[in-house]
């Protein structure tokens, strides 16, 4: 019973951690500073966060859906473990948030990676660990050996919504950097956006989300940062997710978006 209770707590922390996707943690070096590619096309840039957030939100709501893939590592005290995944995202045109469908794989080099399927719609999350049935987070226990993979999958799914980590706190956002580059040959601007944690806490009225922010502040975090690459049409083509997972190490992923405007439909999975 104690193991099940601990599993539920870890997964609950992961699901509630959606607003913290993309956190910058003390002591994390992140990627090397990016410089403009010599061949990069100079695109118009935003230095005021308000129109940036508004325009990107309008663009993604208008497009509706996109195909996505993730690739990176999970580091938990030893060698980094490769993490990959494929799926799709659907942005609600009325502004009600994003729905995500994702198949995530994690495993050491030379091994068969463990797979976890996940569907996230609004605040509800369903998981299907390898060789298990679908379980809705918070409503039924997971097998103990599936908790770590489920926690990873839930955090990744909550972090692939473009700008979700900062759009909730528009009055606390700063455009820290904007660099011309390209993503797979597509001219883009690489933005680094930073949210002041104290101001985000003051603006947060949801008790659970506020408690999560306060917990990070007490752990020494002073800001929430997000990296996003936008093309000339203000469509996200790449994002970066760096996050400390509960008792599971640090995940560092690049998220690639393509085919914006695809007819993506994401519904709750059927019970097995």
Taking residues 157-171, what's their average pLDDT? 87
Question: Helices (H) and strands (E) in the chain — how many of each?
Answer: 6, 11
- On average, the pLDDT of the chain sits at 83
Tokens of 66: 């996109």
- Comparison of pLDDT for 230 and 95, the residue scoring more: 230
pLDDT of residue 253: 95
> Model-level pTM greater than 0.75?
yes
Taking residues 226-240, what's their average pLDDT? 96
Domains defined for the chain, CATH in brackets: 53-258 (2.50.20)
Separation CA 142–CA 59 (nearest Å): 37
pLDDT of residue 271: 67
Asked if the model's pLDDT at residue 22 lies above 70, the reply is no
pLDDT of residue 40: 65
Tokens of 122: 């609004």
Tokens of 206: 């949801």
Tokens of 245: 């997972």
CB 42 within 8 A of CB 180: yes
DSSP letter for each residue of 70-99: EEEEEESSSSPEEEEEEEEEEE-TTS--EE
- Whose structure tokens read 């794989």? 105
pLDDT of residue 139: 84
Asked if the model's pLDDT at residue 258 lies above 60, the reply is yes
Asked if the model's pLDDT at residue 26 lies above 70, the reply is no
Bridge partners for 207 per DSSP? none
pLDDT confidence bin for 65, thresholds 50/70/90? very high
Asked if the model's pLDDT at residue 25 lies above 70, the reply is no
Q: H-type helices in 78-225, by residue range?
A: 147-159, 164-167, 197-203, 207-218
Buried b (16+ CB within 10 A) or exposed e, 147-181: bbbbbbbbbbbbbbbbbbbbbbbeebbbeeebbbb
Asked if the model's pLDDT at residue 234 lies above 60, the reply is yes
The rounded percent of the chain whose pLDDT value lies above 90 is 50
- Comparison of pLDDT for 86 and 146, the residue scoring more: 86
């Amino acid at each position: 019973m104690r193991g099940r209770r601990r599993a539920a707590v870890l997964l609950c922390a992961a699901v509630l951690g959606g607003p913290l996707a993309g956190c910058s943690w003390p002591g994390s070096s992140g990627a090397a500073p990016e410089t403009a590619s010599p061949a990069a096309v100079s695109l118009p840039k935003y230095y005021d966060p308000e129109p940036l957030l508004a325009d990107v939100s309008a663009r993604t709501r208008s497009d509706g859906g996109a195909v996505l893939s993730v690739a990176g590592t999970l580091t938990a005290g030893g060698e980094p473990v490769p993490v990959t995944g494929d799926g799709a995202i659907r942005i609600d045109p009325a502004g009600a948030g994003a729905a995500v469908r994702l198949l995530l794989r994690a495993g050491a080099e030379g091994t068969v990676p463990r797979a976890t399927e996940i569907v996230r719609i609004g605040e509800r999350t369903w998981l299907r660990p390898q060789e298990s049935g679908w379980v809705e987070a918070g409503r039924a226990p997971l097998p103990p050996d599936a908790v770590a993979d489920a926690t990873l999958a839930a955090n990744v799914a909550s972090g692939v919504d473009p700008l979700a980590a900062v759009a909730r706190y528009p009055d606390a956002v700063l455009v820290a950097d904007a660099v011309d580059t390209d993503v797979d040959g597509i001219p883009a601007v690489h933005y680094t956006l930073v949210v002041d944690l104290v101001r985000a806490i003051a603006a947060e009225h949801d008790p659970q989300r506020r408690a999560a922010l306060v917990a990070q502040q007490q752990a020494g975090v002073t800001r929430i940062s997000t990296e996003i690459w936008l093309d000339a049409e203000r469509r996200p083509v790449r994002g970066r997710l760096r996050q400390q997972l509960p008792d599971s190490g640090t995940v560092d992923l690049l998220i690639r978006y393509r085919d914006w405007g695809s007819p993506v439909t994401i519904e709750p999975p059927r019970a097995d």
